[in-house]
Chain A
């Protein structure tokens, strides 16, 4: 084996290298690439594809709920003034279209818990109440995005999955919130 690092290249090998030619792939790869290109807004920044955007919305909502739950776990918080009877955003407003029976059942359960939470809202301080509203608004935006996507692509199984996931997440959050507010009140 050659050990001289600066060996000149063998002329026959150099000749063989010179004959190398570029060859395209046997199949056109563009049909695989094109769907994976994230859309860009005019400034050149990539936009999130919708599943990522919806998932991100849920993550943000879940993260904000965490802060709200900490507030609910606090020791002594002054009750909110009696004017705090503004209704919470409802999922029914965000999801106008009819969905699967399972989604409809989720919506009914969500509606019931939203009613219970609204009743308990008056006993919460303004900061906690605002935190709950912000968290539920974020969830409703994710649900609205998923519902809009499902209306636009009714045959897309992923759209249905994201909507159901978003509804389940809101139900889960509402269960936690109503349990915590019940303990506090």
Chain B
């Protein structure tokens, strides 16, 4: 297979393109090196978006899907960026298949109330990772993608099948809930 290399010249990216090229040709050793370089990043992303329980399984699915799709990686973006997008797709396809936007928002509003309404004790400091885990699926995904991963509302809306306004309102709710949780009330 042929990979164009518009990222040539950046040593770390050159290495990744070479590894990706080798893995696309069937070199499992090269793919394992890519896995070692990216597993923490992907596992963290998946854990934040889907929760602790599903994180290991989904991370495995991401790398298996990456192996299957590597021949389509054209090196027009960094391998890490490509893998990150793939991971988001895997998480979203698992978590939101067949769910309408209205139901998604209704479920989220209900869960948000529960997440912020049952604080164990005001004096117990809750770190942000723990607070993110307490957010309902929809708000958590929008918050992670926008505020942690740097996606735009337009990108989020397109990928999640929402209107932009819904993405913005979900983010606003998530931030408010996180502030309350971090403040301990």
Residues of A whose CB lies within 8 Å of any CB of B are: 1-7, 9-10, 12-13, 16-17, 19-25, 27, 29-30, 32-34, 36-46
Contact = CB atoms under 8 A, between A and B. Distances in A.
Interface of B: 1, 24-26, 28, 31-32, 35-36, 39-41, 43-44, 55-56, 59-60, 63-64, 67-68, 70-71, 127-129, 147-148, 165, 168-169, 171-173, 175-176, 178-179, 182
Contacts of B67: 37-38
Nearest to A24: B40
> Which one of A32, A33, A38, A42 has the highest number of Cβ atoms from chain B below 10 Å of its Cβ?
A33
A21 B175 CA distance: 19
- Kindly list the 7 A-B residue pairs having the minimum CB-CB distance in the complex, ordered from nearest: A5-B168, A40-B26, A44-B71, A24-B40, A22-B44, A16-B128, A22-B40
A19 B182 CA distance: 14
A34 B147 contact: no
Contacts of A39: 26
B68 A46 contact: yes
Contacts of B1: 43-44
B33 to A, nearest CB: 11
Given A9-B147, A36-B60, A37-B67, A17 B41 contact: no
A44 B26 CA distance: 7
B128 to A, nearest CB: 4
Given A1-B173, A13-B182, 18 more contacts: A2-B172, A3-B172, A10-B175, A20-B128, A21-B44, A23-B40, A23-B44, A25-B39, A25-B59, A29-B60, A33-B60, A33-B64, A34-B32, A39-B26, A40-B25, A43-B1, A44-B70, A44-B71
